Chains A and B, each alone.
Chain A
Amino acid sequence: MSGIFDTDVENAWCPGCGNFPILDAVKRALERTGKAKHEIVLVSGIGQAAKLPHYVDVNVFNGLHGRALPAALAIRMADPSLTVVVTSGDGDIYGEGGNHFVHNLRRNPDIAVFVHDNQVYGLTKGQPSPTSDPGWAGSLQRSGVIAGPIRPLAAAIALGCGFVARGLAADVEFTADLMVRAIAHKGFALVDILQPCVTFNKKNTYQWYGKMVYKLPADHDATDRVRSFGLALEWEERIPIGVLYCREDRPTFEELHPGVGEPPLHARETPAEAVRDLLRKRLFTLP
């Protein structure tokens, strides 16, 4: 399959990696937005998931581990005409970048955030992540994870996120549809994507997810915050996928910030007369 967003950059993922179907879903979703390449910015941190932007022919900001969100926020502040999408891993967004996850949910910038959630640190060879199941034994925690998992969707709903969804890497079309809706959503939109790690996570496999997940029924009321919060906590018995929560009643950060808007920052000039006025205000004169 070749599409308009393909690049010829050499891929660095393992054969069978859950990142491949996520990449397909991202490209499909971007195609459906109808946006041109130059209007889209893919932002990521570090990790195998964070390499995804290199494989999509759009603007790319592949920054530091954990710091995708501050960069994405600032890109939106600099030019709100850009469609900004973050694609990164669970360790990157929920672990190293946890503080930025919390505070950007508070801000509610108009960005879509796709988290490749494989419950493991792949690139550093198999350490538990913030979403690893308790008791799971990975590198550096051989006797099993002691800390309880972050429930990212519950955290997002608690912090006022207006679009909270869970995708499944194996179901490209379903996940692409969630991505399209996330990008269209006005405000911070989170899609946590269940993704098998074929190399390091022998528990949460394609088969395991296949057995555990269920699609939310068509009559699920995604505007009911309390009900959605309950769904976001489901994990042990079965795991809901789909749009858990969706409300667009919160203004975005960009709408509320008095300085953000036209013209974009790269086009703002510094008129000599305005500087002169600024300096004149500091002149000490007697009435």
Chain B
Amino acid sequence: MGMDVTIRVTGGAGQGVHTAGGLLSRLAVASGHHFHATQDYMSRIRGGRNSYSVRIREIPVRAGREAADILLALEPGHLPHFLPAVSPAGVVVCDLPAGGSERKDRRVTAAPLRELAVAAGSPILGNMVGTGIVARALGIPPETVERVLALEFKGDFLDKNRKAARLGAEWAEGRLPGSYRLPEAAFLPRMILSGNEALALGAVAGGCTFAAGYPMTPGSSILLGLSVDGPPLGLVFEQAEDELAAMNMAIGASYAGARAMVATSGGGFALMTEALSLAGMMETPVVVALAMRPGPATGMPTRTGQEDLAFALAAGHGEFPRLVLSPGSVEEAYALGHHAMEMAEAYQVPCILLTDQYLADTVVDVDPGDFPVLPVHRRIVRGDDAPRDPNGKYLRYAITGNGVSPMAVPGEPGITVVADSDEHAQDGHLTEDHAVRIAMVEKRMRKGEALATETLPPLLSGPPGGEVVLVGFGSTKGVIAEAREILAGEGIAAAAVHLRQVEPFPAQAISEILDRYRTSLTVENNRTGQLARLIRAETVREVSGTVARFDGLPFTPDDVVKSVKERR
């Protein structure tokens, strides 16, 4: 197994929890190790009770753990909340709590975080003192800490942070157990990315040239990524007045030939659905990143959930083909961001990228080799390649074999592009002719059939048949994979299936897989088993049950293992 240590930094918003967690993650990579970081934060600007968990291993890490080995508590008052999730042999570093039973807990090491912070130049440097202490416990050399700090801070602020970390490390000398020292390892160049950053990068690499959005957690950081990474590559970004505007802007831009995208969460997506249907009718390619959080309504704005699967599949009035992708890792967020851009244009359909707060805010180190530069295929036609009627009028909705009509854009001499939200004839003008209606419905549906021929197959790991198969979509990929490994280690022949595409659904492949295992369980962050229902509808097969978690927190491998053992 090797080294496997989880550090949890906790405190109020504004106390530097995120900074400390991010630094410890970078220190792991600088030491030649790998990490997986997740955040649990409250919906507020200052205060509250937030945590940043960093799990460090010698191999790439794709899931977090419930139990922390090292708890760095920047706010001692939070101890009663966080202590139960510290492992029995764990270490808790914090300023001496005033009164309370925590003082007697053998795991608690009272550290003068505030005093050393003041000595370093400012009481706000407690997070950096704590980072120095934890780095010392991990056996990370002071030179490495200084080099990583130099990447984050500049000038006077760098000096102060450096001093704070050094004071922390010196204080920790001989005071903490040596059991969490990371073994020596060679430094490897890695990229450090969150799921949302990777998704935005993938979209930009996939040729996205227009993005609009209204901020909504946890989709906002996709907008941030698009607005920062996009412009150097020609992307035009606009903050919309509401999600209705964002989606209609994306469709307008797409009509004019941009590769367009929006990003939001469930509530914002609800506002976009009328325009999703417009994209279906107008056949304008558009990509929607839907970062799920628990609902209904405002729900738990900063927590995670997978409650919008059924919504994404059914959103929008009327019938039209769509692509729904569900990345399961930071690497897949990049790959599918690109794929979404390509497929939306190839089939002139809306494409939904279904992610959630857990993957959005998950940060890991990744192999640069998993982030290839892939070609972008534009499919806009010009001049004689545009289909026309006998009078030379461009037919935007020309009836074709696979339903995809060659798309021209306005501005091309000799062509006028007519796009309508009403049912329309091949030239785009509205019609109430029933025969034309039938031909157009069939044309659009043929695109769905063509799209289905390029369905990404589910990914199976573990034995090809046997006792139990765990099926998930989206962000649960890493957790299920690790749960499967734990079960296998205990002699339980378990397999894991990850769906990175849920529409068109890979029905044949899933049917064949389910038939080879005695027990099948879906693993989903919702109460009602939406994936189990989807499987039933698409394969006419019942899974044996669902491992559900809907408290707003992500699964851990331990949760899944426990549930599997109970139900086997």
Contact = CB atoms under 8 A, between A and B. Distances in A.
Contacts of A38: 410-416
B212 interface: yes
Interface stretch (A54-62, A186-194, A195-203): A54-62
Which of B204, B378, B416 has the most C-beta atoms of chain A within 10 angstroms of its own C-beta?
Answer: B416
A264 interface: yes
B191 interface: yes
Contacts of A274: 232-233
Given A64-B421, A285-B189, A266 B258 contact: yes
Contact of B417 (A60, A77, A271): A60
A268 B229 CA distance: 15
A67 B250 CA distance: 12
Contacts of B430: 9, 51, 54, 62
A45 to B, nearest CB: 9
A205 B249 CA distance: 36
A74 B249 contact: yes
Interface in A157-210: none
Interface string A99-112: 11011000000000
B193 A59 contact: no
Interface in A67-83: 67, 69-75, 77-79, 81-82
A61 B412 contact: no
Describe A's contact surface by its main secondary structure: mixed
Interface stretch (A134-142, A238-246, A276-284): A276-284
A258 B230 CA distance: 12
Contact of A73 (B231, B249, B255, B257): B249
A226 interface: no
Contacts of A36: 413
A269 B258 CA distance: 11
Nearest to B410: A59
B190 A61 contact: no
Interface residues of B, number: 79
Contacts, number: 216
Nearest to A7: B429
Contacts of A218: none
Interface string A5-19: 001010000000000
Contacts of B148: 286
A284 B192 contact: yes
A23 interface: no
A34 B231 CA distance: 34
Contacts of B189: 283-285
A287 interface: yes
Which of A9, A51, A102, A266 has the most C-beta atoms of chain B within 10 angstroms of its own C-beta?
Answer: A266
Contacts of A264: 256-257, 411
A29 B151 CA distance: 60
Interface string A137-156: 00000000000000000000
Interface string B25-38: 01001100000000
B428 A60 contact: yes
A78 B193 contact: no
Contact of A79 (B204, B212, B256, B416): B256
Given A75-B255, A79-B256, A265-B257, 20 more contacts: A37-B416, A41-B256, A58-B416, A59-B410, A59-B411, A63-B421, A70-B245, A71-B255, A74-B238, A74-B258, A75-B252, A79-B411, A99-B241, A259-B236, A266-B256, A267-B257, A270-B376, A275-B373, A283-B189, A285-B189
Interface of A: 7, 9, 36-39, 41, 43, 46, 51, 54, 57-64, 66-67, 69-75, 77-79, 81-82, 99-100, 102-103, 257-260, 264-272, 274-276, 278-279, 282-287
Can you list the 8 inter-chain pairs with the closest CB atoms, starting with the nearest? A266-B257, A71-B252, A74-B252, A78-B256, A265-B258, A59-B410, A259-B236, A70-B248
